[in-house]
C-alpha cells in the first residue's frame, strides 16, 4: 500500500511538472514553488480553480463506460486537493525521477496528431472498462495500462503539443492547465495515475469501487480537455 501511495504522490508531481511545462510554453510568468501553489488552494481570499466542470457530462461518460453515476463535484475537488497536498509534502527532487522530460523528447508533434491521440486515449479507457474492469480482471488491466494504452500513456506529450500550438486561445490553455491553475490536464494525469496505482502489482486487493472511481474521473477530465480543444476548431 505504501508503494502504491508513493506512486500516486509521484503522479501528482508529474501533473505539477505538466502544469509547469504548460505555463512555460504558454508564455505565462515564472511559476511559484509547488508548496505555495498547493497552499493557495486552501488559503482564504486566494482565488481557486473553477469547479470540476468535467462532471457536466459525467452522466453521458458513465453510460458509455457502463459505470455507476459519478460522485458530486465537491468530492472530486477534495480528491484533487488531497493529491496536491501529498505532492507538496515530498522533496521537489523527486520530479527528476526517470531522467529527461518525455514530453520534451517528443517535441514537434503536430496539433492534429496530438488531438487524435486524445480521442484514441479515450477509446483505450472505454476498452479497458469493457474488457477488464467489468470482469474485475486486474492483472489484465494492469498489463493493458502499462503496454496497451499507448495513447493514454502519451497524454502528457500530446497535451503539451496542443498547449504549444497557436490553435488554442489563452483562456483555453488556462483551462487545460498551467502552474497557476491546476486544470483538466492535471486532473487526467492525477486520476490516471491513481488508476494505475490501484491495480499495481504490490496491491494484493484492488478495490473495484476505487478502480471505477479513478477510471470515471480520468474519462471525465479527458472529456473536458477534448471539449476545450473542439471549441477551438479541432
pLDDT of 96 higher than 50 = no
Domain membership of residue 128 (yes or no) is yes
Q: What was the pLDDT predicted at 8? A: 53
* Domain assignment of residue 119, yes or no: yes
With cell 477534448, the residue in question is 226
Q: Is residue 141 assigned to a domain?
A: yes
Q: Is the pLDDT of residue 150 over 80?
A: yes
35 falls within a domain: yes
Average pLDDT, the chain: 71
Q: pLDDT by residue (tens digit) across 122-141? A: 999 999 999 999 999 999 99
Count up the domains in the chain and report the number. 1
Within-domain flag for 99: no
Q: Specify which residues 181 forms β-bridges with.
A: 178
Residue 164 lies in a domain: yes
Given a contact cutoff of 8 angstroms between Cβ atoms, the answer to whether 176 and 227 are in contact is no
In a domain, residue 101? The reply is no
Q: pLDDT-derived band of residue 179, with 50, 70 and 90 as boundaries?
A: low
First to last CA, the chain: 41
- Average pLDDT, stretch 55-74? 42
Specify the pLDDT at position 182.
Answer: 80
> Quick check: is 100 in a domain?
no
Torsion of CA 89, 94, 95, 97, to 10 degrees: -160
Please tell me the least confidently modeled range out of 10-14, 163-167, 171-175, 177-181.
Answer: 10-14
Q: What is the 3-state secondary structure (H, E, C) of the chain?
A: CHHHHHHHHHHHHHHHHHHHHHHHHHCCCCCCCHHHHHHHCCCCCCCCCCCCHHHHHHHHHHHHHCCCCCCCHHHHHHHHHHHHHHHHCCCHHHHHCCCCCHHHHCCCCCHHHHHHHHHHHHHHHHHHHHHHHCCCCHHHHHHHHHHHCHHHHCHHHHHHHHHHCCCCCHHHHHHHCECCECCHHHHHHHHHHHHHHHCCCCCCCCCHHHHHHHHHHHHHHHHHHHHHHHCCCC
State which residues form the domain around 200: 2-94+107-230
Residues 77/182, Cβ–Cβ less than 8 Å: no
pTM above 0.85, yes or no: no
pLDDT score of 133: 98
C-alpha distances (whole Å) from 45 to each of 33, 39, 40, 77, 138 are 19, 12, 9, 18, 43
Q: Select, from the ranges 16-25, 41-50, 139-148, the one with the highest average predicted confidence (pLDDT).
A: 139-148
Amino acid at each position: 500500500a505504501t508503494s502504491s501511495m508513493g506512486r500516486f504522490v509521484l503522479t501528482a508531481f508529474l501533473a505539477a511538472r505538466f502544469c509547469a511545462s504548460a505555463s512555460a510554453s504558454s508564455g505565462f510568468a515564472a511559476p511559484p514553488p509547488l508548496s505555495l501553489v498547493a497552499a493557495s488552494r486552501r488559503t482564504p481570499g486566494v482565488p481557486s480553480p473553477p469547479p470540476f466542470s468535467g462532471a457536466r457530462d459525467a452522466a453521458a461518460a458513465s453510460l458509455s463506460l457502463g459505470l455507476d453515476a459519478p460522485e458530486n463535484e465537491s468530492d472530486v475537488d477534495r480528491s484533487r486537493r488531497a493529491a496536491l497536498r501529498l505532492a507538496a509534502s515530498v522533496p521537489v527532487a523527486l520530479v527528476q525521477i526517470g531522467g529527461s522530460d518525455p514530453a520534451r523528447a517528443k517535441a514537434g508533434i503536430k496539433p492534429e496528431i496530438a488531438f487524435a491521440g486524445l480521442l484514441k486515449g479515450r477509446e483505450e479507457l472505454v476498452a479497458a472498462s469493457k474488457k477488464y474492469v467489468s470482469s474485475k480482471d486486474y492483472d489484465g488491466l494492469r498489463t493493458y495500462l502499462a503496454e496497451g494504452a499507448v495513447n493514454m500513456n502519451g497524454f502528457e506529450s500530446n497535451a503539451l503539443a496542443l498547449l504549444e500550438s497557436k490553435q488554442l486561445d489563452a483562456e483555453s490553455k488556462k483551462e487545460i492547465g498551467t502552474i497557476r491553475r491546476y486544470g483538466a490536464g492535471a486532473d487526467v494525469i492525477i486520476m490516471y495515475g491513481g488508476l494505475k496505482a490501484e491495480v499495481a502489482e504490490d496491491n494484493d486487493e484492488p478495490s473495484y469501487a476505487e478502480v471505477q472511481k479513478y477510471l470515471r474521473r480520468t474519462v471525465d477530465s479527458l472529456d473536458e480537455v477534448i471539449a476545450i480543444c473542439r471549441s477551438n476548431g479541432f
